[in-house]
Amino acid sequence: MKYLAVFAALALLAACAKEPTVIDGSSPAAFAKTTEKARRDLPIKDRLTFDTALHNPGGQRYGNKDPGAEARLAYHGMTALDVVADAHARGIE
């Protein structure tokens, strides 16, 4: 009976697992807020890759006057794990 209560408590805790943060690129302020929150969802070993990816979005052009806009567009709707996976696919370690 005691084990059943412990199992039920663990099952309830697992069911309440938090959803990953989705990055909002609709504005610079929303992007900054959600990327900081999404970064906290990652294990420490992936945070540097995440930071590097945010500063080097795919398709970046040298003549762009607002590189932050490219990052907001590229990562809008993604989670931190999606950003890290994209970075690894592009050779960012």
- The one-letter amino acid code at 67 reads P
CA distance 63 to 78: 25
Residue-wise pLDDT for 33-46, tens only, equals 999 999 999 999 99
Q: Which of 82, 93, 90, 81 lies closest to 42 in space, CA to CA?
A: 81
Question: For 29-57, what is the mean pLDDT?
Answer: 94
H/E run at residue 20: none
**10 — pLDDT class (breaks 50, 70, 90):** low
Q: Which of 18, 20, 89, 2 lies closest to 74 in space, CA to CA?
A: 89
Task: Indicate the pTM of the whole model.
Answer: 0.76
Tokens matching residue 6: 């412990």
